[in-house]
């Protein structure tokens, strides 16, 4: 065999069009055929495999293969898949994108293939067609032929330029079915093609080499395949056409060839005929040399002669001959091999068993054994399992020849492949049942299995059947729930129409199940937000928003692409209008706007804070209470629209405000800038003015000043401020109100007016009699002065606070000193003496919690100037305060444990400095400081853990989640994983459902953790599940949990462990009596198997 030898094996088993059934054999056969054709000792071809490619890609491969060849080159083309007939009786081979109703543009035209071959200069071309010409099915067989097509004429080549021949061999006659053996895959066996299996076996074993000349000719191969296929299935007849064949056209070498004995050399014959036994002993020695020399004809004669000499009358000659025969007899290094577990359709693990006995032993033949592929190559017996049926393999191979006979026991286990599992689920799903819910569940499970194994066409057909069966479900909510699952899978298969239907079905369920307008409006708004998260993230999104969106997209799929998504918020608005309670209606409308803002709706973000302010004005509360709530909202509106540089004079304060502002906006409006409408702010404050005028002249005057300022009347605003500051009223709220007005004026760009208002606020300090209250108000003034950049007035506020604290009663002096110290810190004045005074006065505070909280304030005030020691005191004080409550009532224990966990989290944040991907981390880092004392943070963490352990199991979840976040900040990965694993267990146990459902929730939670980067929880949860299974007696539950564990391990990337679990689950699934349960578990097994393969 000279020239290049090129082979292209085209395997198409998955079709996008639901009218074409999915096949199992093509890839299995292509991989096995590639093994023998690519073996240098057999076919010697350079092999390419095309698997599930488009029409364009396949025709391109064929054209590239046949280009630039010469007359000495040999080309072999093998196609396995569907074949289709056009209305004009033209033959088309089906690619993965072929549509039976669009053959001209989507099918592989046989005439095009013929033209490509005609143009090629290759000397020999062999075309093997193992294809179906129609999607016909017969009992226990997948049909692979159909309406009559003259295959030979379709692939006729009138002239071959290189000239040695073109041969077409097909799996069956024009009107017969070529088959994939097997029907229901779990019961009747593998589904390899009978035709291609015969091709492979004839080449690999050499049985097709009828004349035993060491080569398998095309004609010999056809004759072998013909008789083997006919023996296996009499109604199938392979066919062959030859065009311009001249001389022998050979496909491969043969490992099986006839060895004709040769004549021994004359001197050796003389020694054998000698009467002297010593001469015959010499002859035995030379015969042994011939056995090892490599000349097989002489070796065959030598062995036959030694067999005769065993009966020699000389014991020495006889013994020497017997010993030589024993040494040259075929032997195997082992008597048994175990190939282990084989998974996947193309995985064929091989074992090489060394062969002893010399050249004649290596020329032996391997007797066929069911499910085993074996051949002798390079001095070894190469063994592989060819069985594709799931289950155990246990058989005996026999190797025989002139050197005797040897046996090898071969064992292994063929795991349930994803395609087998999917096909089995489909078989069950298509069996009719009187219960429509059972039918729908089976079909949905089978559809999901088909989807995850890449058989989108099968999936769509199964989902269509499920949709039809769902129409018979009488319960409205179950009906729409089933449709939601059906359309969700269909949308993942690429049907965009179904993404709209998913959203419609979920919305329909909300409208049906939630009868209260408030609940229904809130759910519709939440659905709109989830749909937004299901879209690809926009640039600049907060990292945690991106992580959450990834989880939602993994679960919700493509619903974010639904054009009806934008209609949900208006529907939620209309639903909210039907709410009878005004307060509830206002709250729900705010919630709808919030979801809209988070969903990227700028109009919703713009009106969110104004609507919140309107709701505050509608509360039936005192004017002072209303003002206390409303003014921060107004400040937030102004701050949201103003840059940090407009809010603070110093760069370090600008950074803090920018961090706080970004976190606020990310929470409120999904990272979108809120546009504060000046007219809206004015209208809100004017409404406040009218409301406050009735109960508080002072607040009314302040509001008037603010309205005048916002309207641009600086002179009128100044006069109003002057009236406030000179009024004889001794209201304690004057100072903070003037301070707040100054902050708003500064944010509005009028720094001069802001300073004037601060001056008036300072003047009002003399009217405040309670010194602790005065210190707190002066602290506020000092902070605002700091933001405005007026260091002089900030120091005035601080010094006045210092003097006021010294005049306070002993019982309240400590907290007054704290406020004064904070004011001094805000003004940039040293505060150590004030803090020491506050510490000295702590003993005057009798209540333990009040004393602990005062200590917290002292340490927080001194955390920047006094270093790590003060930060430690801060966290210890917080822990002491909450731990005191932990010894009280049960409700207090729960709350205190959670608060202790929060303290541990804050300490961890402080130790870590700052966690950039944690929402609000920059503001928290500023609040708690950075003491970088990981050891102290760990001690606090342990205190919180001890408090959590005292709680009831159903109370631990919130605290455990907080502690897991703290462990993340401390970079304690193992502890974090343990806590998250405990959280998943707590999540499952808190729900009142059956144990298997709890484990499903635990696995789902652990899987979600992997989506946000926590990759250790899932395998640990799976191992815990496997340990739990050993205590389960119920077979169905055990099968479910085994499959669930396999799925978890596969998702965690532990393919070997997952495969072991799948093998164990495989037996349990096979033994189940419930068809619906079996279909669901097969679908899960298919999913797990796909993850293992990936």
pLDDT digits (tens, 9 = 90+) for 1027-1045: 887 777 777 788 888 888 8
Q: Using 50, 70 and 90 to split pLDDT, how confident is the model at 681?
A: low
Low-confidence winner among 59-73, 129-143, 216-230, 466-480 (lowest mean pLDDT): 129-143
CATH architecture of 266-328: Alpha Horseshoe (1.25)
Low-confidence winner among 88-97, 375-384, 454-463, 728-737 (lowest mean pLDDT): 728-737
Candidate CATH numbers 3.60.15.10, 3.40.640.10, 3.40.50.10490, 3.40.50.1460; the one for domain 5-252: 3.40.50.1460
- CA 618/CA 312 separation, integer angstroms: 123
| Of 740 and 3, the one with more pLDDT | 3
Q: In sequence order, which residues have a C-beta less than 8 Å from that of residue 195 and are 6 or more positions away?
A: 130, 171, 172, 178, 225, 229, 236, 238
Residue of 803, 876, 885, 789 lying closest to 837 (CA atoms): 803
Token pair 């004349």 is at which residue?
Answer: 211
Task: Give me the pLDDT at residue 886, please.
Answer: 45
Question: Three-state SS across 670-725?
Answer: CCCCCCCCHHHHHHHHHHHHHHHCCCCHHHHHHHHHHHHHHCCCHHHHHHHHHHHH
Q: 172 near 225, Cβ under 8 Å? A: no
| Of 846 and 956, the one with more pLDDT | 956
Cβ density class 407-430: b for 16+ within 10 Å, e for less: ebebebbbbbbbbbbbbbbbbbbe
Under DSSP, the state recorded for 369 is: B
pLDDT digits (tens, 9 = 90+) for 300-345: 899 899 999 999 999 999 999 999 999 989 999 999 999 887 765 4
- CA 368/CA 943 separation, integer angstroms: 71
Q: In sequence order, which residues have a C-beta less than 8 Å from that of residue 599 and are 6 or more positions away?
A: 528, 529, 531, 532, 569, 670
Under DSSP, the state recorded for 209 is: -
- CA 855/CA 169 separation, integer angstroms: 93
Under DSSP, the state recorded for 539 is: T
Query: What is the side-by-side strand order in the sheet with 391-401?
Result: 336-342, 404-414, 391-401, 365-367
Q: Using 50, 70 and 90 to split pLDDT, how confident is the model at 982?
A: confident
Q: Using 50, 70 and 90 to split pLDDT, how confident is the model at 915?
A: very low
Q: In sequence order, which residues have a C-beta less than 8 Å from that of residue 750 and are 6 or more positions away?
A: 709, 714
Q: Using 50, 70 and 90 to split pLDDT, how confident is the model at 23?
A: confident
What tokens were used for 423? Answer: 């096909």
| Burial of residue 711 (number of CB atoms within 10 Å: 0-12, 13-18, 19+) | middle
Task: Give me the pLDDT at residue 249, please.
Answer: 82
- What dihedral angle (degrees, nearest 10) is formed by the CA atoms of 1048, 1053, 1059, 1061? -30
| Burial of residue 156 (number of CB atoms within 10 Å: 0-12, 13-18, 19+) | middle
Which segments within 155-305 are labelled E, that is strand?
165-170, 179-181, 215-217, 239-243, 250-253
- Compute the average pLDDT of residues 837-850: 68
pLDDT at 198 over 70: yes
- CA 400/CA 412 separation, integer angstroms: 23
pLDDT at 1072 over 80: yes
What tokens were used for 935? Answer: 């050891």
Characterise 294 by phi-psi region: left (phi > 0), alpha (psi -120 to 50), beta (else).
left
- Mean pLDDT, rounded, of the chain: 75
pTM of the predicted protein model: 0.62
What tokens were used for 927? Answer: 């609040």
Percent of the chain with pLDDT over 70: 69
| Of 858 and 382, the one with more pLDDT | 382
Q: Phi first, then psi: what are they for 1033, rounded to 5°?
A: -95, -25
Q: Phi first, then psi: what are they for 128, rounded to 5°?
A: -110, 120
- CA 104/CA 117 separation, integer angstroms: 20
Q: Identical fold at 5-252 and 266-328? A: no
- Domain coordinates in residue numbering, the chain: 5-252, 266-328, 331-414, 429-558+565-595, 603-767, 846-971, 976-1093
Which of 243-247, 309-313, 1044-1048 has the largest mean confidence? 309-313
Q: Using 50, 70 and 90 to split pLDDT, how confident is the model at 555?
A: low
Percent of the chain with pLDDT over 90: 9
Low-confidence winner among 102-106, 668-672, 780-784, 955-959 (lowest mean pLDDT): 668-672
pLDDT digits (tens, 9 = 90+) for 580-601: 887 788 888 888 887 887 777 7
Task: Give me the pLDDT at residue 849, please.
Answer: 60
Cβ density class 511-548: b for 16+ within 10 Å, e for less: eeebeebbebbbbbbbbbbbbbbbbebeeebbeebbbb
Task: Give me the pLDDT at residue 158, please.
Answer: 42
What tokens were used for 794? Answer: 């900030």
Inter-axis angle of helices 651-669 and 623-641, to 10 degrees? Answer: 100
pLDDT digits (tens, 9 = 90+) for 375-404: 787 889 888 876 666 778 888 988 888 888
Q: Which residues pair with 377 in a beta bridge?
A: 380
| Of 618 and 17, the one with more pLDDT | 17
Q: 73 near 122, Cβ under 8 Å? A: yes
Q: Using 50, 70 and 90 to split pLDDT, how confident is the model at 135?
A: very low
Class at the top of the CATH hierarchy for domain 331-414: mainly beta
Characterise 1087 by phi-psi region: left (phi > 0), alpha (psi -120 to 50), beta (else).
alpha
Task: Give me the pLDDT at residue 545, please.
Answer: 62
Task: Give me the pLDDT at residue 224, please.
Answer: 92
């Amino acid at each position: 065999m000279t020239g290049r030898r090129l082979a292209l094996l085209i395997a198409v088993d998955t079709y996008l069009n639901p009218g074409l059934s999915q096949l199992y054999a093509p890839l299995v056969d292509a991989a096995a055929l590639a093994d023998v054709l690519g073996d240098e000792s057999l076919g010697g071809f350079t092999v390419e495999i095309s698997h599930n490619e488009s029409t364009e890609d396949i025709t391109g491969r064929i054209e590239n293969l046949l280009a630039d060849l010469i007359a000495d080159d040999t080309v072999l083309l093998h196609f396995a898949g569907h074949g289709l007939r056009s209305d004009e009786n033209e033959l088309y081979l089906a690619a993965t994108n072929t549509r039976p109703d669009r053959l001209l543009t989507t099918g592989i035209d046989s005439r095009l293939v013929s033209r490509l071959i005609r143009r090629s200069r290759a000397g020999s071309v062999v075309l093997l067609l193992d294809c179906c010409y129609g999607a016909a099915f017969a009992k226990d067989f997948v049909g692979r032929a159909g309406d009559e097509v003259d295959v030979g004429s379709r692939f006729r080549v009138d002239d071959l330029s290189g000239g040695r021949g073109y041969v077409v061999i097909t799996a069956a006659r024009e009107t017969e079915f070529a088959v994939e053996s097997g029907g229901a895959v779990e019961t009747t066996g593998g589904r390899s093609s009978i035709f291609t299996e015969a091709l492979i076996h004839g080449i690999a074993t050499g049985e097709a080499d009828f004349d035993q000349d060491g080569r398998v000719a095309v004609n010999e191969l056809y004759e072998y395949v013909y008789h083997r296929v006919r023996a296996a299935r009499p109604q199938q007849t392979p066919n062959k056409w030859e065009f311009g064949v001249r001389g022998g056209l050979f496909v491969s070498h043969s490992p099986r060839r006839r060895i004709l004995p040769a004549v021994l050399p004359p001197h050796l014959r003389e020694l054998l005929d000698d009467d002297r036994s010593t001469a015959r002993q010499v002859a035995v020695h030379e015969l042994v040399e011939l056995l090892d020399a490599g000349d097989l004809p002489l070796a065959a004669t030598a062995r036959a002669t030694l067999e005769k000499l065993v009966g020699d009358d000389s014991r020495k000659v006889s013994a020497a001959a017997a010993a030589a025969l024993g040494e040259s007899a075929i032997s195997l290094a082992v008597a048994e091999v175990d190939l282990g577990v084989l998974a996947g359709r193309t995985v064929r693990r091989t074992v090489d068993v060394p062969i002893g006995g010399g050249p004649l032993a290596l020329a032996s033949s391997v007797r066929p054994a069911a499910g085993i592929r074996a051949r002798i190559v390079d001095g070894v017996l190469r063994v592989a399992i060819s069985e594709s049926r799931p289950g155990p393999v246990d058989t005996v191979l026999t190797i025989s020849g002139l050197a005797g006979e040897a046996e090898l026991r071969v064992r292994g286990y063929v795991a349930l492949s994803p395609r087998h599992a999917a096909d089995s689920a489909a078989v069950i799903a298509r069996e009719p049942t009187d219960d429509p819910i059972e039918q729908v569940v089976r079909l949905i499970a089978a559809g999901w299995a088909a989807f995850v194994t890449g058989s989108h066409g099968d999936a769509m057909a199964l989902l269509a059947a499920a949709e039809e069966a769902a129409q018979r479900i009488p319960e409205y909510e179950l009906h729409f729930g089933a449709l939601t699952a059906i359309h969700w899978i269909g949308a993942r298969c690429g049907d965009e129409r179904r993404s709209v239907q998913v959203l419609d079905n979920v919305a329909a369920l909300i409208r049906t199940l939630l009868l209260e307008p408030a609940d229904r409006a809130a759910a519709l708004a939440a659905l709109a937000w989830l749909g937004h998260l299901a879209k690809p993230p926009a640039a600049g999104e907060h990292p945690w928003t991106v992580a959450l969106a990834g989880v939602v997209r993994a679960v919700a799929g493509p619903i974010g692409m639904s054009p009806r998504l934008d209609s949900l918020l208006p529907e939620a608005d209309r639903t909210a209008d039907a709410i009878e309670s005004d307060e509830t209606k206002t709250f729900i409308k705010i919630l709808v706007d919030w979801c809209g803002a988070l969903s990227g709706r700028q109009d919703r973000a713009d009106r969110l804070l104004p609507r919140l302010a309107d709701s505050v004005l509608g509360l039936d509360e005192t004017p002072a209470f209303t003002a206390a709530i409303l003014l921060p909202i107004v400040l937030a509106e102004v701050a949201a629209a103003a840059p940090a540089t407009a809010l603070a004079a110093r760069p370090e304060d600008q950074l803090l405000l920018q961090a706080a502002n970004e976190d606020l906006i990310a929470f409120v409006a999904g990272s979108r800038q809120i546009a504060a409408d000046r007219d809206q702010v004015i209208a809100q404050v004017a409404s406040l003015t009218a409301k406050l005028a009735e109960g508080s002249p002072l607040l009314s005057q302040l509001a008037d000043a603010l309205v005048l300022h916002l309207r641009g009347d600086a002179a009128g605003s100044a006069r109003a401020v002057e009236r406030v500051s000179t009024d004889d009223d001794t209201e304690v709220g004057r100072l903070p109100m003037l301070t707040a007005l100054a902050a708003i004026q500064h944010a509005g760009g009028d720094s001069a007016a802001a300073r004037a208002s601060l001056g008036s606020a300072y003047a009002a300090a003399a009217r405040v009699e309670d010194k602790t209250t005065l210190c707190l108000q002066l602290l506020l003034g000092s902070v605002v002065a700091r933001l405005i950049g007026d260091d002089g007035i900030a120091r005035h506020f601080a010094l006045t606070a210092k003097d006021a604290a010294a005049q306070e009663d002993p019982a309240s002096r400590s907290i007054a000193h704290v406020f004064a110290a904070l004011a001094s810190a805000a003004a940039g004045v040293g505060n150590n003496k004030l803090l020491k005074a506050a510490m000295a006065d702590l003993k005057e505070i009798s209540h333990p919690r009040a004393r602990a909280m005062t200590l917290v304030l002292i340490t927080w005030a001194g955390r920047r100037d006094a270093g790590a020691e003060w930060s430690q005191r801060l966290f210890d004080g917080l822990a002491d305060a909450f731990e005191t409550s932990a010894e009280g009532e049960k409700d207090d224990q729960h709350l205190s444990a959670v608060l202790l966990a929060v303290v541990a989290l804050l300490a961890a944040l402080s130790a870590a400095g700052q966690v950039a991907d944690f929402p609000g981390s920059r503001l928290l880092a500023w609040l708690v400081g950075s003491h970088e004392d990981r050891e102290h943070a760990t001690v606090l963490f342990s205190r919180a853990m001890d408090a959590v352990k005292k709680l009831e199991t159903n109370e631990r979840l919130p605290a455990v989640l907080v502690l897991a976040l703290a462990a993340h900040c401390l970079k304690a990965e193992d502890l974090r994983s343990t806590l998250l694993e405990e959280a998943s267990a707590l999540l499952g146990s808190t729900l009142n459902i059956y144990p298997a459902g709890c484990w499903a929730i635990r696995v789902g939670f652990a899987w979600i953790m992997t989506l946000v980067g926590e990759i250790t929880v899932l395998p640990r949860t799976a191992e815990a599940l496997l340990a739990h299974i050993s205590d389960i007696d119920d077979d169905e539950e055990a099968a479910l949990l085994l499959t669930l564990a396999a799925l978890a391990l596969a998702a965690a990337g532990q393919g070997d462990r997952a495969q072991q679990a799948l093998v164990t689950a495989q037996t349990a699934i096979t033994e189940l009596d419930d068809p619906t349960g079996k279909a669901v578990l097969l679908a899960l097994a298919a999913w797990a198997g796909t993850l293992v393969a990936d």
